[in-house]
Structure 1
Amino acid sequence: MVFLFRLSLTFAALLLSGCEQSPASVLDQQLYVWQRQWTPAHAPALRQSHKDFSSLRILALQAFPQAGWSRARIDPQLLKTDGRPLIAVIRLDGQLKLLDQDDVIAQIQQLLSDWQAQGLAPVGVEIDHDAGNARLPAYGAFLTRLRQTLPATLGLSITALPAWLDSPALPGLLQTVDSSVLQVHAVSDPRQGLFDPKQALRWAERWNGVTTRPFYLALPAYGVALLTQDSGVPVVESEVPIDQGGERRELLADPQQVAGLVAELRAEPPIHLAGLIWFRLPLADDRRAWSLTTLGAVARGDRLDSHLALRVHEQGGLYDIELVNQGNLDSPWPQRLTLVVGACEGADALAGYTLQQTSGLLTFTRIQEGRLTAGAQRAIGWARCTKIDQGGSNVHP
């Protein structure tokens, strides 16, 4: 009986161990640094991003059909101080009718030489070229030649489009590079949104079935504005403001949607998926990107919460009223805010809100869209009252 009892315990233990969840996979997390002109805001942003993101993919060089070549004005000293591995990204606009291979290779070699002279030692080069499917064979030939000119120690990767999945040239193209970065955001009509997590997962699974080499997913942490034209075709405004009138519709990738995809990928990653690359490093004055607090929370898999609250500061009976985001999730401005007050001589709302005053109550109502980043605060109004009951204040989404 003792033997049978021990055997039963052993069998039960095996059953329990089989039911335990395997630990979530650790996916490498990297960042695109996509500003064409570096500013003092890069220093704190890079410092804050250091603990969550292993490598930096730096927009370094661009070629456009009419404008020609343009270098991003980076801060090499800042990158040396940062110390993370660097990948130089060369953007070849998809509207280029023909890739002048000699010129492109010469430009890349000069860039690498200049970076080396500045004390930078990139570990890789990424080519970002939105070639149409019909041009993929020629693109593959160019990449083969480029690979031969680069040092063997330097990795070569490409930014890739889901549309390429329909091309028979894709498997051969992927054999010419060491890795690929599948862009799963803003790849179709932006009017349909920047990101669809279910579609992104399907693309990732299909890509995994085609490639035999490591690949990354480029995920969105940004927004754009769509500017309406008379033709009905929208113009996309991103980092650079466009001086054009008309209606503006803001689109922003939803952090909770993206976090859901990341959780699925951690739980059951495609076998060739090497990691995630976030577009893009946000700066403090970046009005169309998640805050670094929200980006870091999504990358780590933290629970997301905006936790909006009202806060008042009183001096001589004058109250300054502000909205505070005490959570880790950027949030739209709330629709309505109310405060219980005593007798008030005067009160007013600041930009973005309007005020309605009734007996014992101040009601602030939103009249324009806005966003309060995680950890930030924003003044919404003032009041001169005998008292304000902060415990009686409410934020209504």
Structure 2
Amino acid sequence: MIEIPDEKPWNELNVLIIDGQALVHTVVKAALIDAGIKKIQSAHNAYTALRLCSSTKFDMVLIAFDVKSDKDGFNLLEEMKFKGYIKKTTCVIFLSADTSEGLVNCVVEMEPTDFWVKPLDQSKVEHRIQQLLMIEKKLYALRYCFEKEEYATAIYYAERQLKDETLVLYHPHINRIIGRSLINLREYREAQRFYEKLTETYDYAWVHVGLANSFLKQDMITEASDLTDALLEREDTKFATYDLLAEYYISKENFQMGYQIIQEATKLAPRSIERNKNSWNLARLNHDRLGQYAATRNMLKHAKNSIHDTPLLQLNVIRSAIDLAPTLSYAEANKLIARTERNIKELKSDFGAANELGEQINIIEIRIMNSRQNKREAEKALQ
């Protein structure tokens, strides 16, 4: 069995608060100190947060959506996960005054430990931190095994913890890890039985979505369709069900159906770069040039200041625009090409000297000449 490292005592935990508002730091620090936590560091922007994470391993991170000056909290949380600063065993608390459906869906995808709505109430913060610390201590070994992809061992710990009466409040979380572990182990029939039994006790979104997933993994289409139709009517399951169905149809190479579904999911959580990337690829497979253009524009918009932000995203928008232009009316095509030419000038100004972009930009300019019926100039440039 995997060796589980000792968990830190509370007074040795490292905590990072990332927020642009001084009042938030004051409220949270006071609550942490009352809980016996002394090692607290603050960051008022993403740059400082990442610099601190590069030198300190934090056990708890509180991160606001509205981080000032550089990145928003969603992009920052994504980057911290990508760089390994945040693990499954890290307690992550997302803070936001914005509770719009699109943002909440995107945050849920990042799987924070908790989501707090600002402004914060100090007495409630103190109570919630005490609860979270207790949960983290109890579930440390289970989460550690799941993070290390030791799914069989994770199930072993989970089943033992389900027998512990003091953990009754945490049983839904423990059961959720068991279900995900069974799916990851490809024990689909066992996962189906497990989720079916849970539906007798719980009405949580993840239970029904997990059951639908187990049906789809076994190609039990009738059972899956009946369930997913119902789940698409529920606000708390709609988002995850769209993703589940898109993944299934793509795996079956039914790209048209997968494309239709993933477009609906993208409307619910437009910030997901991976989903927009899948939408772009599926639009290409379905010869939807307008869809390609929309997906590349979404990626460029939501990747700004994130780990995904590269000039290649701008190139993809430009290429998609050139592909789209011939399908439009003369006036609309001219307008789109004129906008694309402005985008190219900006791109050349920023990155034109870069060897890896110079040739690609040249080819794009030749394509534009060709689209304007300027064949002679295009041939000359090509030479």
Normalization by structure 2: what TM-score? 0.31
Structure with larger Rg = 1
Which structure has more relative contact order (CA 8 Å, sep 6+)? It is 1
Task: Choose between structure 1 and 2: higher strand proportion.
Answer: 1
Task: Choose between structure 1 and 2: higher helix proportion.
Answer: 2
